[in-house]
Amino acid sequence: MNKVILPIILAFFLVTIQLAQAQKFTIVKRGTSKSRIIIPEKATVVEIQAAKVLQDYIQRISGASIPIEADNTQQQEGEILIGNVNRPELKEVPKEKLDKDGLFIKNIGKSLVITGGTDKGILYGVYTFLEKYMGCRKYSAAVTYVPKKKKIVVSSINDMQLPAFTYRETFYRDAVDPEYQLWHKLDSHVGPGKSEWGYWVHTFGSLLDPKEYGESHPEYFSFYDGKRHAGTVPSWDGASVQPEAQLCLSNPEVLEIVCKNLQAAINKNPEAIYWSVSQNDNVNYCRCPECSALDKQYAAYAPEDKMYSTHGGSKYPALGMGSILTFVNKVAERFPDKIISTLAYQYSRVPPKNIVPRKNVNIMLCNIESARNTTIEKGDTSFSSDLKGWGQLTNNIIVWDYVIRFSNLFAPFPNLRILQPNLTFMHNNRVSAVFEQGNREIGGEFAELRAYLIDKLLWNPNINIDEVMNDFLSGYYGKASKQIKEYINLLHENNMEQSGYKLSIFGSPVMEKETFLSDSLITVYNNLFDKAEKAVAKSPEILERVKTARLPVYYAMLEIAKEEKTGKRGAFIVADNNSKIRNPAIVKILYDFVYQCIRTNVTRVTEWHTTPLEYLAEYKKFLE
């Protein structure tokens, strides 16, 4: 029996080895290459760009230059097929599944295929190949890692990826960098590239301007408190004005003017897909009999059953979407080839009953009230209930999520562990698009790390997030990664989730001075950063990144010192004659904090306000 089986086993292993060797694809050997990059004879801009990116990075990795040729040449071994080339291998590509952004990588026979969907999928395929199979990384707009290899051989690849969300925006400054955006498969409604958005949010005022129609047609605007409100009020930043109320959405003339102005805007930007027709940023909706009847007709709850507030202000009833959705559905009927987006926000966030959005109506939900040290599903049951309700009505939903502390951009903000469960929850409840609002300024607490994690999760919420984080920390902080990881763990283990405390996007480090910013923990944090800086002292670029990662600890110490004034953590020392002198330790931290901000081009310490030098001047005035 053994004499019969042994030859069969040997034959099996020989066939397996031969198959494995056949499936291997050699791109570079001993620093040279016999491969060619093949693109269609009439290649698109995306196909040409994808080919050039691959050519560039292969040369950076190995020193080998691979030529780019059209598919009207005779086929040879070792071809890398980019895009929709005229080659028989392309018959194996499931093009119908790739849609806009899907990607496909496979070595077929003696060729390697990299292609993708109709928009940027081919570019996404190239960048995925570089990261997943070549070991390249794009940690930030300024930090790219390219390994050095004289031999590039890829084993069997059969990789098709489809995005979890059709629209993915990470609103960090890095995310508008062209290559960073493509590498991480991101969209953007701002920046130099083509945007899918024609109008963003709060557009009632621009589609029907109270400055143009307020005096002549007050009936176009909200009725409440016994009169029409067709005026303007100062905007939140005081630099301009905004409508004081909303539109009267039951007025047929309002519909005609809005559609006329929307058409004019579309004519100027016909390639944009999303057009927001959405409420102004206030809760002064129309209470006229016609609008009120629509709101009542489609209300799933009595208004007083759900009371909401924004920024911790006074509460208002959840009116629902009756008049808004009726109006927006009519607009959407006029523009069937566009997606008409509208806000379900503040008073209109509650999903309605007996009315559904048209297929080309996009519902934008904003979780501005949610705590950030626990998941949305667990910590904000009101929002999660509304999201689930909308998910039963439509799958055309975008969530505007908030992921930083806007009032104090450098405050330690332990929310990294909720990023994955929140995006998984959204995906499971039919959210199709996500806008993650990070820091529009340069700098901020763990800006590069948080953006990187969000980027990966927007493409695939089911990744191993610990592996991704560890990979980033190792690549970005080098020998200091161990201490940085320990610091992150300590922050999150003491973030007060179990106590019911709500970590707010508008809070201050002073609010956490007895918990994850206690005196004893800050001492531990500083010891960790001392060790981290020592570990990378001979690597100037990485040392700079470690010093930047330390800025939130310094910022917390400065804000707490200003609040306490005296004592162990205070900004002043009480002398023997009861006079107060500046605490030299706090002064040193202030100078170090501001100078490091200047060195790294930080633009603001709080959103929209306070440059580093303004912060120094204000703190100096306080100390004096």
Model pLDDT, residue 494? 87
In angstroms, what is the C-alpha Rg of the chain? Answer: 28
* Residue 351 shares a structural domain with residue 206: yes
Q: What global pTM score does this model have?
A: 0.93
Residue 207 pLDDT exceeds 60 = yes
How would residue 160 be classed by pLDDT, with cut points 50, 70 and 90? very high
* Residue 205 shares a structural domain with residue 348: yes
Q: Which helix (H) or strand (E) holds 170?
A: strand 167-171
What is the 3 state secondary structure string of 418-433? Answer: HHHHHHHHHHHCCCCE
Model pLDDT, residue 9? 46
* Residue 126 shares a structural domain with residue 211: no
477-508 burial, b if ≥16 CB within 10 A, otherwise e? bbbbbebbbebbebbbeebbbeeebbbbbebb
Residue 177 falls within a domain, yes or no?
no
The residues facing 492 across adjacent strands are: none
Average pLDDT of 65-83?
96
* Residue 208 shares a structural domain with residue 154: no
Closest CA to 202 of 301, 284, 304: 284
SS3 361: strand
**Spatial distance between the Cα atoms of 471 and 137, rounded to a whole number of angstroms:** 10
222-261 burial, b if ≥16 CB within 10 A, otherwise e? bbbeeebbbebeeeeeeeeeebbbbbbbbbeebbebbbeb
* Residue 151 shares a structural domain with residue 220: no
Average pLDDT of 284-306?
91
| Distance separating the N- and C-terminal Cα atoms of the chain | 96
Average pLDDT of 579-598?
96
Residue 142 tokens read as 């300024």
* Residue 570 shares a structural domain with residue 485: yes
Closest CA to 373 of 426, 439, 418: 418
Model pLDDT, residue 19? 40
Give how far the C-alpha of residue 245 lies from the chain's centroid of Cα atoms, to the nearest Å.
30
136, 161, 186: which is the final residue of a domain? 161
Total structural domains within the chain: 3
Positive or negative: CA dihedral 44, 49, 52, 57? negative
Model pLDDT, residue 311? 64
Residue 335 falls within a domain, yes or no?
yes
How would residue 2 be classed by pLDDT, with cut points 50, 70 and 90? low
Is the CB of residue 407 less than 8 Å from the CB of residue 508? yes
Residue 406 pLDDT exceeds 80 = yes
* Residue 208 shares a structural domain with residue 83: no
Model pLDDT, residue 240? 82
**Spatial distance between the Cα atoms of 59 and 345, rounded to a whole number of angstroms:** 50
Residue 576's Cβ-side half-sphere holds a number of Cα atoms within 13 Å equal to: 0
Residue 429 pLDDT exceeds 60 = yes
Residue 547 tokens read as 């010093």
Model pLDDT, residue 301? 83
CATH number of the domain within which 153 lies: 3.30.379.10
Residue 83 falls within a domain, yes or no?
yes
Is the CB of residue 225 less than 8 Å from the CB of residue 252? no
Is the CB of residue 594 less than 8 Å from the CB of residue 587? no
Residue 227 tokens read as 């009169």
Model pLDDT, residue 312? 63
Exposed, middle or buried: residue 422 (CB in 10 Å: 0-12, 13-18, 19+)?
A: buried
Is the CB of residue 514 less than 8 Å from the CB of residue 494? no
Residue 163 pLDDT exceeds 60 = yes
Residue 36 makes CB contacts below 8 A (sequence gap 6+) with 66, 67, 68, 69, 76, 78, 79, 80
**Spatial distance between the Cα atoms of 553 and 530, rounded to a whole number of angstroms:** 12
Residue 76 makes CB contacts below 8 A (sequence gap 6+) with 36
Closest CA to 450 of 419, 424, 407: 419
**Spatial distance between the Cα atoms of 393 and 331, rounded to a whole number of angstroms:** 19
Residue 370 falls within a domain, yes or no?
no
Q: By percentage, how much of the chain surpasses pLDDT 90?
A: 87
How would residue 7 be classed by pLDDT, with cut points 50, 70 and 90? very low
Residue 331 falls within a domain, yes or no?
yes
Model pLDDT, residue 302? 82
Residue 15 makes CB contacts below 8 A (sequence gap 6+) with none
Closest CA to 173 of 139, 141, 127: 141
**Spatial distance between the Cα atoms of 462 and 258, rounded to a whole number of angstroms:** 41
How would residue 3 be classed by pLDDT, with cut points 50, 70 and 90? low
Residue 316 pLDDT exceeds 90 = no
- Between 304 and 76, whose confidence is greater? 76
* Residue 227 shares a structural domain with residue 103: no
Residue 458 falls within a domain, yes or no?
no
Tens digits of residue pLDDT in 215-249? 999 999 999 999 999 999 998 766 689 999 999 99
Residue 11 pLDDT exceeds 60 = no
* Residue 581 shares a structural domain with residue 519: yes
Give how far the C-alpha of residue 147 lies from the chain's centroid of Cα atoms, to the nearest Å.
27
Residue 186 falls within a domain, yes or no?
no
**What separation in angstroms does the CA of 108 have from each of 50, 87, 90, 91?**
19, 11, 9, 11
Is the CB of residue 55 less than 8 Å from the CB of residue 35? no
Residue 289 falls within a domain, yes or no?
yes
* Residue 224 shares a structural domain with residue 278: yes
Give how far the C-alpha of residue 402 lies from the chain's centroid of Cα atoms, to the nearest Å.
9
**Spatial distance between the Cα atoms of 381 and 77, rounded to a whole number of angstroms:** 58
Q: Which helix (H) or strand (E) holds 476?
A: helix 465-477
**Spatial distance between the Cα atoms of 529 and 533, rounded to a whole number of angstroms:** 6
Phi, psi (deg, nearest 5) at residue 470: -65, -40
Give how far the C-alpha of residue 24 lies from the chain's centroid of Cα atoms, to the nearest Å.
37
* Residue 144 shares a structural domain with residue 278: no
* Residue 213 shares a structural domain with residue 155: no
Give how far the C-alpha of residue 372 lies from the chain's centroid of Cα atoms, to the nearest Å.
15
104, 135, 161: which is the final residue of a domain? 161
Domain enclosing residue 269, as ranges = 197-358
161, 179, 210: which is the final residue of a domain? 161
Give all strands (DSSP E) within 235-369, no chain letters. Answer: 241-243, 274-276, 307-308, 316-317, 339-344, 361-366
Q: For all residues of the chain together, what is the average pLDDT?
A: 93
Is the CB of residue 334 less than 8 Å from the CB of residue 279? no
